[in-house]
Amino acid sequence: MQRRTLLATLAAAPLAGAQRAGAQPAGAQPAWAPDKPIKLVVPFAAGGSTDITARLLAQALSDRLGQPMVIENRPGAGGNIAAEAVARATPDGYTLFMATSGIIGANKALYRSLPFDPVRDFAPISQVAFVPNMLVVGPSMPARTIAELIERVKARPGEVTYGSAGIGTSQHMAGALLAQRAGLNMIHVPYRGGAPANTDLVSGKIDFIMSPLVEVLPQIRAGTLRPLGVTTRNRSPLFPEVPTIAETMPGFEIALWSGLMAPAGTPAAALQRLALETAAVLRTDALKAKLAEQGSEPVGSNPDQFATFIHAEIPKWTEIVRLSGATAD
């Protein structure tokens, strides 16, 4: 896959936080060994894509590190509340952040000011996964293709609603970009996480959402939500019959990613150990299978590779924000 090839060949170009991580000598074992529970801060409500991935990762890492990993959900402000809390936390390896493409890549372009800097205030540890977003419609929306959805929105300007896990999230950006590219007038309804947004979609309170696939899999399989298109470049292996949005709208592509980060200044040994164990658990058949069941693609990278990836992602998401015309202020 193109992303895996890219990650495998990345040159070391660390961010400020990653530069503190240093390089581990060949054959050496990381010296850091945690002696108390580790807190993993999730920026969205329980039950959403990021939360599910974080809990799977935390369980696997707890076994390898010999210490519990405690999930703390801190939703709100498009992930900025959680990000600020982690940025200000003691940089000792015991407070980690489940970062996403929206928070690290898009929010600086969406908000006039942030209480943190997505580059300077964090030390990258490891990219965790790519998650495709699926455009799904609720029971009140009769459209069965992307073209039909666009036609219906144009026929009812200012009436059709789409939900998201919050301002600046990949769901918000995907919907705003669709509106910009197709010239649509529709209403964005932000929530404090993907789970409550999807609940309202099933009940008919909103019309559609471009949700991470893992969050809507049960409803798709139960027939309560209908998939119309995937936001990634390629079709999902779980639903090969569902076209990409790009097949109707060439060039349309938005992919959600998640990654593990720590406050800038976290000791190099802690970053290296956490990165090593994260990559190791993401290679296990058990975790790969669980992520694949949800449509996610595990990655696993070292701090320098993740830093280089982020450097490339920020201008990409800045351009998506510009094209979408979205703003959080």
Neighbours of 191 (CB within 10 A): 23
Q: pLDDT digits over 41-54, tens only? A: 999 989 888 999 99
132-247 fold = D-Maltodextrin-Binding Protein; domain 2 (3.40.190)
Q: How far is CA 241 from CA 67, 248, 255, 295, 316, in A?
A: 43, 14, 19, 14, 29
Q: How far is CA 210 from CA 22, 140, 219, 259, in A?
A: 39, 16, 14, 20
Q: What pLDDT is attached to residue 4?
A: 43
Q: pLDDT digits over 308-328, tens only? A: 999 999 999 999 888 888 887
In this predicted structure, the answer to whether residue 11 has a pLDDT above a threshold of 50 is: no
What token pair was written down for 13? 């170009």
The domain over range 2-130+255-324 is classified in CATH as 3.40.190.150: yes
What distance lies between CA 45 and its chain's CA centroid?
13
Phi, psi of 199 (to 5 degrees): -60, -45
Q: How far is CA 285 from CA 95, 217, 238, 281, 289, in A?
A: 27, 21, 18, 9, 6
154 — pLDDT class (breaks 50, 70, 90): very high
User: What secondary structure letter does DSSP report for 131?
Assistant: E
Distance CA 138, CA 220 (A): 10
Q: pLDDT digits over 192-247, tens only? A: 888 899 999 999 999 999 998 988 999 999 999 999 999 988 999 899 999 999 99
14 — pLDDT class (breaks 50, 70, 90): very low
Instruction: Quote the percentage of the chain above a pLDDT of 70.
Output: 91
145 — pLDDT class (breaks 50, 70, 90): very high
What token pair was written down for 158? 């200012």
Closest CA to 16 of 106, 112, 89, 87: 87
Phi, psi of 40 (to 5 degrees): -110, 110
Domain definitions of the chain by residue range: 2-130+255-324, 132-247
Pairing assessment for the beta strands 208-212 and 226-230 based on DSSP bridges: unpaired
Q: What is the mean pLDDT of residues 131-155?
A: 94
What token pair was written down for 294? 């949800």
Distance CA 265, CA 242 (A): 45
Phi, psi of 239 (to 5 degrees): -135, 70
- 162-171, 283-292, 314-323: which is most confident: 283-292
Q: How far is CA 295 from CA 89, 114, 234, 238, in A?
A: 33, 32, 12, 6
In this predicted structure, the answer to whether residue 275 has a pLDDT above a threshold of 90 is: yes
Residues 38-73 as b/e (b if ≥16 CB within 10 A, e otherwise) read: bbbbbbbbebbbbbbbbbbbbebbbeebebebebeb
78 — pLDDT class (breaks 50, 70, 90): confident
Confirm whether 2-130+255-324 and 132-247 share one CATH topology.
yes
Q: What pLDDT is attached to residue 65?
A: 96
User: What secondary structure letter does DSSP report for 247?
Assistant: G
Pairing assessment for the beta strands 95-100 and 255-263 based on DSSP bridges: antiparallel
Distance CA 248, CA 229 (A): 9
Q: Please, which residues bridge with residue 187 across strands?
A: 161
Q: pLDDT digits over 105-130, tens only? A: 999 999 989 999 999 999 999 999 99
Q: pLDDT digits over 58-67, tens only? A: 999 999 999 9
